[in-house]
């Protein structure tokens, strides 16, 4: 009897120790109080050193850092992850270096059609716009759709009329025109390129804009309250068919956020991200299969999208505030900034 009592006591002691270890492990992996972080991308594709001279690298690094600083400032001052994502994407939309907003590519008819989406990981509320060409910052329009309508995705001229009523800055289509982007279209169509005007000649001559990438931009943030948000904005693909819609405004494909798991923004060949519902698939693999973010990103990018013939990359923040990214293309413009003081900007192959 005494032996049985001793045995039961020992089992109870061991179970208590096991539970204590589990609790300690949980503490290690909890998000630090009031911590926050932001990760961005500026497109994936042929982002290699061979395609980018020193001036180009400096220009992209500067633009990416400006976007990080803008979003980080919002988070540092107690702002929401939604506002931080919006601020970071705004900076990249205003730069001709990226295929979003100011630097949007031309479709087959020589026009620009821009898409954007944003999602709140706390409520799963989201908004998106597609096929707009007079809204200076499409990400702001996506935010208004989310906050001020019962819909998720709005398109075309009707959404532009709505946004004008909300006071968004509207611009003439000439604002988005750059000779470099137009020459990309003509080169693909086999037509003669046009003469560069003064406004974009310096960028072209200095090599600050290139053809060798998908330039979709995106941001993911987690704020001091632990809420995650993700946003994506794009001009689509050069010479795309009029009316073509990619993954960027499609919630679950090019963009997704859920406080239970993570926030994700994608860039690449959108048709393949839509076929695999890529961003949501990553979240599902984490939530239901128990994969860590690195494993989930690799599975979707390489074993699903890659095997179908697609390429691109994704950035991710999990609900602990940890940052991840991966891509099956040659490179991806990317960077992150955390409340811990870490600040990284990278462009080319994955660092070891």
Work out whether the CA dihedral 10, 12, 18, 20 comes out positive or negative. Answer: negative
Asked if residue 340 lies in contact with residue 316, where contact means CB atoms within 8 angstroms, the answer is no
What are the angstrom distances between the C-alpha of 69 and each of 37, 84, 340? 11, 10, 14
From 130, 216, 232, 269, active-site residue: 216
Asked if residue 41 lies in contact with residue 332, where contact means CB atoms within 8 angstroms, the answer is yes
Q: Which tokens in the block code for residue 77?
A: 């001052």
Helix (H), strand (E) at residue 64: helix 54-76
- 320: Cβ contacts below 8 Å, ≥ 6 apart: 29, 30, 31
- For residue 15, report the phi and psi dihedrals to the nearest 5 degrees: -65, -40
At residue 215's C-alpha, the angle toward residues 211 and 221, to 5°, is 160
Strands 312-318 and 343-346: unpaired
β-partners of residue 323 are: 317
End-to-end CA distance of the chain: 59
Report the SS3 class of residue 238: coil
Q: Which tokens in the block code for residue 316?
A: 């991710």
Catalytic residue check, 261: no
Report the SS3 class of residue 66: helix
Asked if residue 91 lies in contact with residue 217, where contact means CB atoms within 8 angstroms, the answer is no
- 218: Cβ contacts below 8 Å, ≥ 6 apart: 40, 41, 89, 230, 231, 232, 233, 248, 254, 255, 265, 266, 267, 315
Catalytic residues: 216
């Amino acid at each position: 009897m005494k032996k049985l009592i001793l045995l039961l006591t020992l089992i109870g002691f061991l179970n208590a120790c096991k539970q204590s270890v589990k609790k300690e492990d949980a503490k290690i992996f909890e998000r630090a109080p009031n911590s926050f972080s932001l990760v961005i991308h500026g497109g994936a594709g042929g982002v290699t050193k061979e395609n980018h001279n020193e001036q180009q690298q400096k220009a992209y690094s500067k633009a990416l850092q400006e976007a990080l600083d803008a979003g980080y400032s919002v988070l540092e001052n107690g702002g929401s992850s939604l506002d931080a994502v919006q601020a970071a994407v705004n900076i990249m939309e205003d730069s001709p270096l990226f295929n979003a907003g100011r630097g949007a590519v031309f479709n087959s008819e020589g026009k620009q059609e821009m898409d954007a989406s944003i999602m709140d990981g706390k409520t799963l509320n989201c908004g998106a716009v597609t096929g707009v060409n007079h809204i200076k910052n499409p990400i702001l329009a996506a935010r208004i759709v989310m906050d001020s309508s019962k819909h998720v995705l709005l398109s075309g001229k009707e959404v532009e009329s709505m946004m004008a009523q909300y006071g968004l800055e509207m611009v003439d289509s000439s604002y988005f025109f750059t000779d470099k982007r137009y020459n990309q279209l003509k080169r693909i169509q086999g037509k003669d390129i046009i003469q560069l005007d003064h406004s974009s000649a310096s960028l072209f001559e200095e090599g600050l804009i290139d053809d060798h990438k998908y330039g979709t931009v995106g941001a993911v943030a987690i704020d001091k309250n632990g809420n995650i948000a993700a946003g994506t904005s794009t001009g689509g693909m050069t010479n795309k068919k009029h009316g073509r819609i990619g993954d960027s405004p499609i919630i679950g494909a090019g963009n997704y956020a859920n406080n239970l798991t993570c926030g994700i923004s994608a860039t690449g060949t959108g048709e393949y991200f839509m076929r695999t519902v890529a961003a949501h698939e990553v979240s599902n693999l984490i939530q239901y299969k128990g994969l860590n973010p690195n494993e989930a990103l690799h599975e979707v990018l390489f074993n699903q999208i890659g095997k179908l013939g697609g390429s691109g990359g994704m950035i991710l923040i999990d609900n602990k505030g940890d940052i991840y990214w991966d891509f099956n293309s040659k490179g991806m413009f990317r960077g992150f900034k955390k409340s811990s003081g870490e600040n990284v900007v990278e462009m080319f192959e994955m660092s070891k």
